[in-house]
Structure 1
């Protein structure tokens, strides 16, 4: 028979676990040091909590903390993803707009970050190629912009067009700049995504592009997802919401990446 002391300890642990998982839903990443301070326990206790939650398949431990567990090939629905780090996405989009010149041919992926870029683009002569239904709707409001959808199969989770027919349609296109995001980026492993077909379509667009601009919020840095499809050497510019005082961007700069760090609007 367990003692009341053990029951009390178990209750406290369960309460911490619930708080950790709630924070993970809101932030997409939790850090050991921050949890230790917020929950008033040692960092070692937090590490044990994360280990238990990982064994329960509730999260994945990473260096310094944990991220949500993703089912292979599963994408969080776009409307749900759009709400996360919205201010940061708007700030990154505002910076990316500065890199778009009149008359260019640009491409946007189906990420919610690129959707903010579609909203932020000025109504001026441009050609925009995209596999995003949401982005095409936003761009259709701007009369000077020519919008080209890639075609392909519709993925409802991301409202994106993917597949062989999508890749085939864009095969002979020229693209000046591809603006995109991803599920995760690691300074050594490169760019990765959670869905293979989505990654394949983005890879084909990237191959046709003169320049690639990667926009990622702070939670995606030094992370890995299911499908690796692009090395950092192929990226021209990294726009991120990471604070230089909290996250070291040196590994990315050493890859000859033009790195831009933005603040929330």
Structure 2
């Protein structure tokens, strides 16, 4: 019995097949170009296996509303060729098997909930901070979705007193993503985050923005774990600064678990998304 998973990113697709014990048998990485090229390679990979179901965690925005005429579509993405692409429809036309469909960050949150840093919890939030910022949440053991999926990277945050950067978000300017994602760091400082010294004063600003977001998510959702992934979080000195800023902002207003176990990095490291996609595929197959 085989399950397929697709972690569909704007730069690459990670495709994997697991057995019934969720052990990955084979995985490949495919560049994200245009659907005609990328999906041909995706299907060539999965054609080798008799799959029970496929789980997809996709870059977005995507349509997750089951009552919508465009359920299963990537919608208003700026990624060339993928705007209004019927992702789920393409898979079903090819294989006619169940397809689990959600965002890449929702899939990562689910992977961390089942197999990663939140295994002992009933709720968690996963935030990725990289080229963009996005978040997914698990509450009462279910992925949080409604009319659409959350867009946690675009909440508004207070500007740091030392920050005059206008922001990079084409929609909102100085939202969380516009001020704290990788491109914002690079445009503000003239170099990528991994080239910025760990004692650079800028990291206090970065921590301040992320901590504000985590405080907002805490107050609204009250999850048991906050899990921070993505390329920006590869800077290991950032996590203690975020915890420190978060503690100051929250100011003991509500109770949280022990801070060091509350704000953590992914237990699955870079494999949360593909793990979650496979687990969701298995649930869809039942």
TM-score of the alignment, normalized to the shorter chain, above 0.5: no
TM-score normalised by structure 1 residue count: 0.30
Structure scoring higher RCO (CA < 8 A, sep ≥ 6) equals: 2
Structure having the higher Rg: 1
TM-score normalised by structure 2 residue count: 0.28
